């Protein structure tokens, strides 16, 4: 009897896997479908229309009581978080037959892969135009070693295709912080990781990177002559911070350990990357929220240089955050700055959120997204 049940389960799993494999060839339900433009074409159309993009992180752990299809229809770009930078699995069949492996090997916090496919399928039906990105890393997922992560890039590229994603977001925060990205070994790893991902992924897949709010400000708080966090060509170079009229809080940002932590990475990767998500919430103790304009402008310089989409990220989780997404006038002010850049440069820079469908959010998600819509469009 036990043998019979085991055989039945094996053949049922095999049958399911074969069907998944067939669908993968035709375009399984988690994929957007052949009739939809590629993600790269969609981004191009946003740029041509100077249409600011609205982005949101969707934490996979909210899947227990939320569905992706219910995300606000104004969201154009969804980052499903987080998968492991050093994920490893034998093949898709091993995850289908053992659902618990989906979380332990991949990192996404669904009950199993079938639940993910169902969630993604419903999203694709409801929003065939949405761009869905797999976000890697985050604050908590640290690779067991840098080599392990580099050796996982082909697996990640395969998974992106097998699970129907439009690309990846690399949110690498060594030891839970952006500070260490000013270490040449960590920065070089970041560059190598993204470069290998580009080599393995299909041409129409997108690559996003997440960086700190002050990551494009040249650092002035270090005395190492070999430091990698400077760019003399940037408008926010070391000379800029010699001006006594510089906002004190911007000057403080340039003195932080994370200052300039994106500069070396962007200047080495150049146009390999498509999108930069700027985490303003790593500077949540500032007393001058107006610096968001300079923080955006510091990244917009690289956006123009390398054709990036720059997304300024807001946090929904802290009521005392100085960069308040619920403040309509404040959001409009940064939206006006972004719209001006979009018009001048045929760009699609926009605004984003951490995080969507989160029961711990202290602001009303739909009201915040409406603020974004009114500010950008």
The catalytic site residues sit at: 173
- For residues 155-191, one letter each, b for 16 or more C-beta atoms within 10 angstroms of the residue's C-beta and e for the rest, the string is bbbebbebbbbbbbbbbbbbeeebbbbbeeebbebbb
198 is written with which tokens?
A: 């580009």
DSSP assignment of 106-148:
I---SS-HHHHHHHHHHHHHH-TT-EEEEEEEETT---S-HHH
CB contact at 8 A, 91 and 119: no
Sequence length of the chain is: 377
Q: Name, in order, each residue with C-beta under 8 angstroms of 297's C-beta and a sequence gap of 6 or more.
A: 235, 236, 337
DSSP assignment of 60-110:
GGGGGT--GGGS-TT--EEEEEEE-TT---S-HHHHHHSTTHIIIII---S
Q: What's the CA gap between 355 and 60, in Å, rounded?
A: 11
CB contact at 8 A, 335 and 294: no
Q: What's the CA gap between 348 and 338, in Å, rounded?
A: 9
Q: What's the CA gap between 327 and 172, in Å, rounded?
A: 30
346 is written with which tokens?
A: 């045929």
**φ, ψ for residue 314 (rounded to 5)?**
-110, 155
Euclidean distance between the first and final Cα of the chain, in Å? 64
């Amino acid at each position: 009897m036990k043998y019979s049940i085991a055989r039945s389960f094996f053949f049922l799993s095999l049958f399911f896997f074969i069907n998944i494999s067939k669908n993968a060839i035709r375009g399984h339900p988690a994929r957007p479908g052949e009739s939809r433009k590629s993600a790269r074409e969609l981004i191009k159309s946003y740029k041509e229309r100077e249409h600011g993009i609205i982005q949101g992180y969707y934490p996979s752990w909210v899947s227990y009581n939320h569905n992706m299809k219910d995300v606000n229809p104004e969201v154009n770009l969804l980052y499903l978080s987080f998968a492991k930078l050093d994920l490893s699995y034998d093949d898709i069949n091993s995850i289908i037959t053992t659902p618990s492996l989906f979380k332990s090997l991949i990192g996404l916090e669904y009950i199993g892969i079938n639940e993910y496919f169902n969630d993604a399928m419903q999203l694709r039906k409801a929003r065939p135009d949405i761009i869905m990105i797999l976000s890697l890393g985050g604050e908590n997922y640290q690779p067991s070693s840098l080599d392990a992560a580099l050796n996982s890039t082909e697996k990640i590229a395969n998974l992106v295709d097998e699970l129907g994603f439009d690309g990846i977001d690399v949110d690498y925060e060594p030891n839970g912080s952006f500070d260490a990205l000013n270490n040449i070994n960590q920065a070089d790893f970041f560059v190598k990781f993204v470069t290998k991902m580009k080599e393995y992924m299909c041409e129409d897949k997108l690559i996003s990177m997440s960086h700190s709010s002050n990551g494009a400000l040249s650092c002035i708080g270090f005395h190492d002559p070999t430091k990698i966090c400077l760019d003399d060509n940037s408008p926010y170079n070391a000379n800029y911070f010699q001006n006594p009229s510089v906002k004190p809080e911007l000057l403080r940002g340039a003195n932080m350990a994370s200052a300039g932590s994106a500069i070396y990475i962007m200047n080495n990767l150049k146009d390999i990357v498509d999108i930069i998500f700027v985490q303003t919430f790593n500077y949540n103790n500032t007393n001058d929220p107006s610096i968001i304009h300079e923080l955006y402008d510091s990244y917009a310089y690289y956006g123009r240089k390398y054709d990036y989409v720059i997304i300024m990220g807001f946090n929904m989780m802290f009521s005392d955050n100085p960069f308040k997404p619920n403040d309509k006038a404040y959001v409009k002010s940064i939206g006006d700055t972004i719209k001006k850049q979009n018009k001048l440069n045929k760009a699609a820079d926009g605004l984003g959120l951490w995080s969507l469908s989160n029961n711990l959010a202290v602001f009303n998600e739909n009201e915040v997204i409406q603020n974004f819509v009114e500010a950008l469009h």
